[in-house]
Structure 1
């Protein structure tokens, strides 16, 4: 028999009070933490891309919707063109997400102290710290998934179907940042069909909420349709296939953290087994539907981090005794230290580079260093050109990270505008007709040289600390074999690097 959509308060009771002060303090502390570490060690590779994309605003891009470049543009306009400035909104959004996890605990029956503990625990995960440290679609995606799940749980507890409009608005905003939120919608719908309450699917307000979501997301969806849905090409490029299944499984532990993984597993089991949580069982079923499908596709492990955070909040509510809460607090502390070492610059970058264990833990941070050095090395090649060539030469970068770094730091070295054929960077401009000399960085020599009459290697990139651009060649190429409009179509490419 189908479960009734409106659940009587006497059957599933939320705490009578929200821990307003406690949750606000935790949220403010998370915001302060992110801002304190926002100035180093440097721009994340995608931030360099978003910064330039913000100067070329469009309704959509080959690899993303419109919201994150717009946020980059707004933050720079409001706070200045600095590393800290571009990270204000991610920090704020993630602080809100932490607060919402406490509200999820309240809906599941937690008292005020347990709400605050839940928020603290959820703040100590790798998923949370990674979402709030840099400007990335994940910063929006994280808060959208957590908030949408909170609203759905609240609808099922209170029967207030007006909140479906809010769910639609949240999902619509999520679609402006990352199309991944469609997975959440599909998974929750599957959860409703499998676990109920199915009557919710007949709600007129649910349909109205879906309409609100589509309306908000319409600009990006129309852009994708007009341009042949390039997002599907990007999704195919990012999939590792079945061979990525092991990495996906490992990621389910790492995204929350090894010390807190048992807690989200407890939350998953409790949602499936506790009679009083039966109306919310769809959340657990949504994860069990989504995770195996993504694993078989070899998708990124982080695609489930929003649902994992909700499951973690549910697991925290099971800490009913003092002993369990002390254990939970200790696990959160250890987990938070490990997560911070991995994604926040809590130590000097040289310290990470000088220790094999720290270098492995902080691998992601090395991609945030060396960009001024890259610009300086390209500038040295450019300065070595004869005067008559230097005046008209352009710079070509194989990927948007290199091009974004040159856009940010190249001006100080007198470099011209840098171009790249990757993704939507190819639409930001190409070399003018008649350009005969190109300084190229990061290209594959054989294929790039085939486009010119002459190419010579002028050096290789080197960095003081490990960097994924290490060893890439710097070329000077002369005499394009075809007109630039034709050449540019050959240089366009879609994918990751």
Structure 2
């Protein structure tokens, strides 16, 4: 049973994902970016470390089908729930504790998190793997568990820089507990060396490029993190795992205060310090998700021990196991894109009070923003391809496809990957590294949601070719414009903008 249940939950988590996504939706704008990074393998990017780009490369090597794109978040979600259920068993939990820990994971925010090809799924897995390794070391002080912890942290740093906060929380937790004696263990420092060795290529890349991570954080703080209110952050901590709050909260309490889990007190402090650090730094609420799965395991074992003396536990246990899934069932349309855009728009009156139809602009829209971000991309790519085909044969080889943002450029490159046309480009994010020379450019196809018609005098011919018409797409109204024979002034302007933007990123530490 101790091996069967973890595998069963992992299988359910992996397979169910393929049945919980409607074909009416496309990929999310961020997913296109990570796939595009897979075309340009490097030890770093302006947005993220390189691990997800390696997954993007493998996806494209396998044909790039959407099923392969989804494979990665489904895999990391399955691996995480396996560790959660397995940990409950390692802590002495029987079928009830293991099953409850598993349904807590399936019925909370991870149901949504593990749908999208983003670094977040591996981040949660890496945190869980690291804490699982620590618990196993406490139970059996073998050096291999410390090196497993080091490997998890090293790969985590290659996946997302928020792992640095986790490491800080772990260090603080060790200092606050008797486990500080671990700092005198040579294998602990060997594990730290392993983590650093794994991260070193990306660290060197950051230094060589002027530490663009600093510019990225400055932009986040200016445009997004500045809007994160403390009250909203803490409210989200309750909401994201609300279906399991009755499990993870006692689990955290038992870790910090109870005698049964005293040897593992570091785990509780890691959660407290990690989430607290994010709150102080105005981090996004979902950055904290990686600290909860381990608490599901401890909380589930706590519940099993609590119910042990009661006669009616046999009847109550299945109900408690199913409870997180009941909450999930109520919110299925908001978590899984199983309903068509029109059907989701029809549900707006029911779910709008929850705020899920309100976008970053503060306005109510027909669909939740994430869903609207999964529409209109194929239409955009097809119309851009048609615009390219409309060009004279003599200029096609010297055409620049210029997009306003990374989502547009990445989506065009994904859907047009089998078509004989130039790659789309942008002056946004890591596309700055791949921007082509423009001096020989004889035509420009401009894809922009806010087109600048003042550019028209710089072309011999300038015409609007088409636009995205999908009424539910966030990119609705994005225009495809064709300009022939751009003048030298425009080419020089583009070149200057590229140099200025790249210098802003690479000069962040200077």
Matches within 5 A, 1:133-148: 133-148=115-130
Q: Contact 2:46–2:429 at 8 Å: present in 1 too?
A: yes
Q: 1:62 aligns with which of 42, 46, 57?
A: 46
Aligned twin of 1:251: 236
Does structure 1 residue 211 correspond to structure 2 residue 193? yes
Give TM-score scaled by structure 2 length: 0.84
How far apart are residue 403 of structure 1 and its match? 0.4
Cα deviations across residues 44-83 of structure 1 (Å, max 9, x unaligned)?
A: 2122112221111112111111111111211332x42200
- CA 196–353 in structure 1, closer or farther in 2 if over 3 Å, else same: farther
Offset, 1:282: 2.1
Pairing partner for 2:15 from 8, 32, 42 = 32
Q: CA–CA distance in 2 between the matches of 1:332 and 1:465?
A: 35
- Give the Å deviation of 1:432: 3.6
* Aligned 8 A contact 2:97 2:297 in 1: no
Q: CA 1:252–1:21 in structure 2 vs 1: closer, same or farther (change >3 Å)?
A: same
Q: What is the CA–CA distance in structure 2 between the aligned matches of 1:455 and 1:292, rounded to whole Å? A: 57
The answer to whether the 8 Å contact 2:49/2:160 transfers is yes
Structure 1, unaligned runs of 5 or more: 1-17
1:431 deviation in Å?
4.4
Across the aligned residues of Structure 1 and Structure 2, the Cα RMSD in angstroms comes to 3.0
Q: Which residue of 1 aligns with 2:138?
A: 156
Query: Which residue is equivalent to 2:404?
Result: 398
CA distance, structure 1, for counterparts of residue 109 and residue 478 of structure 2 = 31
> 2:487 is paired with a residue of what secondary structure?
strand
Within-5 A mapping of 1:65-464: 65-77=49-61, 79-127=62-110, 129-239=111-221, 240-241=224-225, 243-245=227-229, 246-256=231-241, 258-320=242-304, 321=307, 322=313, 325-338=317-330, 340-356=332-348, 357=350, 360=356, 362-379=368-385, 381-382=387-388, 392-410=398-416, 415-442=421-448, 445=451, 449=455, 458=464, 461-464=467-470
Are the aligned partners of 2:210 and 2:505 in contact in 1 as well (CA < 8 Å)? no
- Which residue does the alignment assign to 1:479? 487
Moved more, 105-114 or 27-36: 105-114
Pairs aligned (count): 475
Residues of 1 paired with 2:97 and 2:233: CA distance? 31
The change in CA–CA distance for 1:158 and 1:473 in structure 2 (over 3 A counts) is: same
The TM-score with structure 1 as length reference comes to 0.86
How many Å apart are 1:100 and its aligned residue? 0.3
Stretch moving more, 447-456 or 464-473: 447-456
Is the Cα–Cα contact under 8 Å of residues 274 and 291 in structure 2 kept in the other structure?
A: no
Q: Counterparts of 2:387 and 2:202 in 1: how far apart (Å)?
A: 40
CA contact (8 A) 1:90 1:135 kept: yes
Q: CA deviation at 1:475?
A: 4.2
**How far 1:465 moved relative to its partner?**
4.3
Aligned to 2:310: none
Instruction: Give how far 1:179 is off.
Output: 1.9
Give 3-state SS (helix, strand or coil) of 2:278's partner: helix
Deviation per CA, 1:4-44: give whole Å up to 9, x if none.
Answer: xxxxxxxxxxxxxx611122111111111123346742112
SS in 2 for 1:312: helix
